[in-house]
Amino acid sequence: MALSVTIDPSDSGRLVFSQPITPPQASAFLWTKPPASRDALRPDPGERPMAGAQRRFLIDKSDLDLVFSLRHGLANQYVRRIQPIMAKAPATLPAWMPAHVREQILAFKLPSGVHRFTGVKPWGDIVVWIRQGTYMQVEAYQEYPQDIAFYLGLAGGNARDARLLLSVYTQFNADLRLLVEQRKMSPADARDELRRINDAVFKLVIEGTVAMLGTGASMTAMNTTLRSLSTNIVATARRSQVTRIKPINGKLNVGGGHETPHMTNLNPIKAGSGGPSSGISNHVRGYMEDMDQIFVPRSVTFMMSSRLRFVDVDWTAATQAAAKVMQVGGKVEMNIWCQGFQAQIVKKAFERAGFRNVTISGKGTGTMIFAFR
């Protein structure tokens, strides 16, 4: 039986041979001159080899020189799938990409590597991945907004849903950045990796990302795509909540920064709040209002805050969430910047949530709230 090979329809980075062969045999079959890179072709770890031979292999499809030198008609199949920008045709890039970024790409001014450009607010950075070779390979994407106001618009003003969307999309930004900038994957391969290892939530995010990467996707179209997906993402995220965690030693600093490196610091990284935006030890990104979605019930024995602004918290929702995660007898010592009757509002919120012995000390930026669960 003659040996043949096909591209896996569910994963274009996987080649499937008609019969088991060894890696050297696969490489010799695919290329006239086998590539030197060890990552060019790898055995699929999902298949158990027999006597060193197997049918499925993974190819580095981000290397166009490698892909376009494939034999047996595979190169043409990849060309149809990838649809690269060829030098003889007018090159087009996504409509959301600013003119100055397009000009640098099309003028071949960017060397191989990852390049960041400031995006149009509220959207994040534009990330351009370049690989120079016989062909210049270009992949680009724009990071999702990190402004809660943007997600309030998507969620129809529902603050809880907006915070959940913010968490999902900013985590996607962080994961993609890790794979592209630290692990040196192309953006397409990074999205494939996230699709493989993550749950249904990120699969929906990737669906939206791919839709927005089309050359005709304007800013308006991008926002429309996100809005259409937001309801499903919120519902799916709630169904597939990751396992809740326990704070270090039962201690939690709400809005915590650098002052408490030996406890868990719950901080949403909110612009304009005056708090730190990076380098926080034991950082868990989130709002006090969502504590019950983050921490194990009755796992918090001590809750504090330093310089937490009254205006940054929905105190009814926050104290109710705190009541669910604090142990009976757990202690509260929170410094909250209050004015006028704001301290009384916080006190009543704690009392309505079931906290005992709620007292106020100090005023203004020195306001302290003490309580027991």
Q: How do residues 56-87 score in pLDDT, each as one tens digit?
A: 999 988 777 788 788 888 887 876 665 544 44
CATH number at residue 299: 3.40.50.150
Residue 91 is assigned to a structural domain of this protein? no
User: Do 270 and 200 lie in a common domain?
Assistant: no
User: Do 108 and 229 lie in a common domain?
Assistant: yes
User: Do 234 and 252 lie in a common domain?
Assistant: no
344 contacts: CB under 8 Å, gap ≥ 6: 360
Helix H or strand E encompassing 137: strand 137-142
User: Do 154 and 65 lie in a common domain?
Assistant: no
| Domain final position from 210, 239, 268 | 239
User: Do 218 and 265 lie in a common domain?
Assistant: no
Q: What is the mean pLDDT of the chain?
A: 83
User: Do 109 and 207 lie in a common domain?
Assistant: yes
- The candidate with the shortest Cα–Cα distance to 262, out of 250, 276, 274, 245, is 250
Residue 146 is assigned to a structural domain of this protein? yes
User: Do 78 and 148 lie in a common domain?
Assistant: no
User: Does the pLDDT at position 306 exceed 60?
Assistant: yes
User: Do 36 and 62 lie in a common domain?
Assistant: yes
Please write the tens of the pLDDT for every residue from 309-328.
999 999 999 999 999 999 88
CA dihedral 40, 62, 46, 171 (to 10 degrees): 140
| Residue matched to tokens 């610091």 | 265
Residue 90 is assigned to a structural domain of this protein? no
Please write the tens of the pLDDT for every residue from 214-236.
544 556 666 776 777 777 777 76
Residue 322 is assigned to a structural domain of this protein? yes
Residue 215 is assigned to a structural domain of this protein? yes
Please write the tens of the pLDDT for every residue from 2-50.
899 999 888 888 999 999 999 999 999 999 888 888 778 999 888 888 9
Q: Fill in the amino acid letter for 251.
A: K
| Residue matched to tokens 């950075």 | 125
User: Do 22 and 142 lie in a common domain?
Assistant: no
Orientation angle between helical segments 342-352 and 315-325, nearest 10 degrees: 40
User: Do 76 and 191 lie in a common domain?
Assistant: no
User: Do 50 and 68 lie in a common domain?
Assistant: yes
pLDDT band at 335 (very low <50, low <70, confident <90, very high): very high
Q: Are 215 and 92 spatial neighbours (Cβ–Cβ below 8 Å)?
A: yes
Instruction: Choose between 182 and 368: higher pLDDT.
Output: 368
Q: Are 263 and 256 spatial neighbours (Cβ–Cβ below 8 Å)?
A: yes
| Domain final position from 192, 221, 239 | 239
Residue 92 is assigned to a structural domain of this protein? no
Distance CA 169, CA 144 (A): 6
Q: How many structural domains does the chain have?
A: 3
User: Do 209 and 281 lie in a common domain?
Assistant: no
pLDDT band at 161 (very low <50, low <70, confident <90, very high): confident
Distance CA 197, CA 260 (A): 33
Q: Are 323 and 270 spatial neighbours (Cβ–Cβ below 8 Å)?
A: no
Q: Are 102 and 93 spatial neighbours (Cβ–Cβ below 8 Å)?
A: yes
Please write the tens of the pLDDT for every residue from 86-135.
444 455 677 788 889 988 988 888 999 999 999 888 899 999 999 887 67
Report pLDDT for 215: 44
Report pLDDT for 177: 86
Residue 276 is assigned to a structural domain of this protein? yes
103 contacts: CB under 8 Å, gap ≥ 6: none
Report pLDDT for 129: 92
| Domain final position from 207, 239, 271 | 239
* pTM for this predicted structure: 0.49
User: Does the pLDDT at position 252 exceed 70?
Assistant: yes
Integer angstrom CA distances of residue 348 from 132, 336, 351, 367:
63, 14, 5, 15
Q: Which domain holds residue 130?
A: 99-239
Residue 288 is assigned to a structural domain of this protein? yes
pLDDT band at 210 (very low <50, low <70, confident <90, very high): low
